[in-house]
Structure 1
Amino acid sequence: MKKIFHYGGNIAEAVIALFLYGILQDFYFFPKQIKQRYHLPLSIQEFATALVTVAVIWFIFWMYKKQLQSVNDWGFNERPHWSARRIMIFLAGFILITVLGGIMLQLVSQGKTVSTNQQNLDQLSKQSGKLFEIMVCFVAPACEEVIFRGMFFNTFFTKATRFNKWAGILVSGFLFAYMHDPGFTKFIYVYWVLGCVLGWVYMSTKDLRYSILTHMCYNSLGFVHMMTLL
């Protein structure tokens, strides 16, 4: 019975986190629709967006930390949070995600096509303005790492074994890939690689701060690359 409550409760919280993340995306990706729907002045809309962002991120982090109080065999989120070793893992993770992601992208696309997810993001960027960059570079990494790394390992593969570490990295990476490419196109392998590297960073540091930072840097790199082409 205890396991049922553990799985059921944690899965329900992950679903709630995904739902709130979806609402948050609307504020960033569809600002014009939000303004028209609620008849908000620009200053009020910006304040509302910032307030909702802080509230959603705080709440899903609170749920994540609450889960750790129940089961935490891995020792996640323990102090001190910052160390030279963890920073080196972050740097290695950023190099890995950049190199391996680029290699996999070339293998599956041969430089000729882009994923459906990327096409949708390109379309959203045209109507979102600067809010798009804030969401993709900062807000999305924070929310996605809590859900796909933090909440995932708090629910599944909770025993601290070598098998659970690597099996969890592969499975969490696949779930991350599926959410970005639910159509199961060839690009799902790219997202799977990205998700696995982020999972490795999280499991190696035992701290979400580093996988979030890796995710933020990788997403930001895409915008830097776009600017160099302009």
Structure 2
Amino acid sequence: MKKFFHYLGNVAEIIIAFYLYGLLQNLYFLPVKVHERFHLNWTAQIWLTALITVLVLWLSFKFYKQQLREVNDWGFNQRPHWSLKRILTAFFGLLLIVVLGGVMLQALGQGKVSANQEQLNSLAKQSGQLFKIMVVFIAPACEEVIFRGMFFNTFFTKATRLNKWAGILASGFVFAYLHDPHFTKFILIYWVLGCVLAWVYMSTKDLRYSMLTHMCYNALGFI
């Protein structure tokens, strides 16, 4: 029974973190609508967005670290946090994403973009600089703690080889589905992206590195 409630609590934390992440996206992607709905001046809205961002990130990481204190067979988040080998692993992951994603986009896309990317392109026009902040920094932080950190802490807690690779595939698929819920052919590209990010996390045992890979990849879209 104790294990059941532990599992249920972790699932609830994932749902809460994901819901808060969705609300946070609205603040960044739909600033005009938020401005009009709550009758805020722009200065007040910027401060409100910054405050809510800090609170959402703090709570999400609090959930993650609490889960690690309860069960951490994999040895995640151990000191020292930074090493050259793991930094190189993160950049190798970035290279894999760029190469594999590019090859698959050429094979599947034929000059087209996914519905998710079309929506992001539309949001970019109305969000201004807030869009870049969300895509490059906030989204990778939130998505990595949810889809990699909390996901493995909940569904693949036992440190076995089978769990590692099953978790990588499952984490990648969930990530892909939430970016392409209509199951178009582009879901394969998001699946590869999610799997590589999960591989970076499992290879380094530290979210900092999958976040670094994710942030760098998203930043490439603005270069």
Same fold (TM over 0.5): yes
Gaps of 5+ in 1: 225-230
Are 1:182 and 2:177 counterparts?
no
Partner of residue 158, structure 1:
157
Structure 2: any 5+ residue segments left out of the alignment?
none
What does residue 122 of structure 1 align with? 121
SS state at 2:178 partner: helix
Matches within 5 A, 1:144-155: 144-155=143-154
Aligned to 2:49: 49
TM-score by length of 1: 0.96
Superposition deviation, residue 108 in structure 1:
1.1
Say which SS state the counterpart of residue 223 (structure 1) adopts. Answer: coil
Query: Secondary structure at the residue paired with 1:184?
Result: coil
Cα distance in 2 for partners of 1:65, 1:101 equals 31
Cross-structure match for 1:14: 14
Q: Match of 2:209?
A: 210
Corresponding residue of 1:220: 219
Aligned to 2:136: 137
Give the deviation of 1:6 after TM superposition: 2.0
One-letter identity of the residue aligned with 2:216: C
> Aligned equivalents of 1:151 and 1:101: distance in 2?
25
- 1:3 positional shift: 2.1
CA deviation string 1:5-30 (max 9, x = no partner): 12211110000001100110010011
What fraction of aligned residue pairs are identical, expressed as a percent?
A: 68
The residue correspondences of 1:64-143 to structure 2 (distance < 5 A) are 64-111=64-111, 113-143=112-142
- 1:103 CA drift (Å): 1.1
Post-superposition Cα deviations, 1:98-135, rounded to whole Å, max 9, x if no partner, equal: 11111111111122x11000010011111101100110
Q: Considering only aligned residues, what root-mean-square deviation do their CA atoms show, in Å?
A: 0.7
Partner Cα separation in structure 2 for residue 141 and residue 90 of structure 1: 14
Residues 178-213 of structure 1 deviation map (CA, whole Å, 9 limit, x = unaligned):
000000000000000000000000000000000001
The equivalent residue for 1:227 is none
> How far apart, in 1, do the equivalents of 2:91 and 2:33 lie?
39
